[in-house]
Amino acid sequence: QNLVRICVDFMCCNLDEILKMTMDLNCLDQDLLKRMSTTLTVDQLDALHDRRDRLLSKLYMKKLESLLTQEGHQITRCSLCGRLFALKGVDRLVCPSAKIFIDFRGKVLAEHVPSAGFDINKHILGLRAKKLSWREVYWKVWGLIETMHCVVCDQSFQCSELGHCSYCPSPPSFSVGQNRGVYACCGAQAIRFDSSAGGRQRRGCCARDHAVSDGDAETLSCVAKRRQLVCLPFGGAE
Tell me if 183 sits within 8 A of 170, measured CB to CB: yes
User: Judging by beta carbons within 10 Å of its beta carbon (0-12, 13-18, 19+), is residue 78 exposed, middle or buried?
Assistant: buried
Q: How far is the CB of 93 from Zn ion (least distance, A)?
A: 8
> Applying CB under 5 A, which part among 51-59, 64-72, 104-112, 222-230 lies near Zn ion?
104-112
Position 186 contacts Zn ion (CB under 5 A) = yes
Q: Residue 219: what residue type?
A: T
- Give the one residue of 33, 84, 86, 205 binding Zn ion; rule: CB under 5 A: 205
Which residues in 155-186 are b (16+ Cβ under 10 Å) and which e? bbbbbbbbbbbbebeeebeeeeeeeebebebe
- Give the one residue of 64, 124, 150, 212 binding Zn ion; rule: CB under 5 A: 150
- Give the one residue of 18, 25, 42, 80 binding Zn ion; rule: CB under 5 A: 80
Q: How far is the CB of 117 from Zn ion (least distance, A)?
A: 15
Q: How far is the CB of 16 from Zn ion (least distance, A)?
A: 40
> Applying CB under 5 A, which part among 63-71, 88-96, 124-132, 226-234 lies near Zn ion?
88-96
Give the whole-angstrom CA distance, residue 122 versus residue 174: 49
Position 159 contacts Zn ion (CB under 5 A) = no
What is the number of other CB atoms lying within 10 angstroms of the CB of residue 72? 10
Q: Please count the residues of the chain.
A: 238
> Applying CB under 5 A, which part among 37-45, 55-63, 101-109, 181-189 lies near Zn ion?
181-189
Q: Rounded to 5 degrees, what angle do the CA atoms 46, 51, 52 make?
A: 120
Give the whole-angstrom CA distance, residue 67 versus residue 142: 8
Position 185 contacts Zn ion (CB under 5 A) = yes
Maximal C-alpha separation, the chain: 80
Position 140 contacts Zn ion (CB under 5 A) = no
> Applying CB under 5 A, which part among 44-52, 133-141, 152-160, 218-226 lies near Zn ion?
152-160
Position 100 contacts Zn ion (CB under 5 A) = no
Nearer to Zn ion, 62 or 112 (CB): 112
Size of the site for Zn ion (CB under 5 A): 15
Position 81 contacts Zn ion (CB under 5 A) = yes
Tell me if 75 sits within 8 A of 144, measured CB to CB: yes
Residues of the shown chain interacting with Zn ion in the complex, contacts defined by CB under 5 A: 78, 80-81, 95, 112, 150, 152-153, 165, 168, 183, 185-186, 205, 210
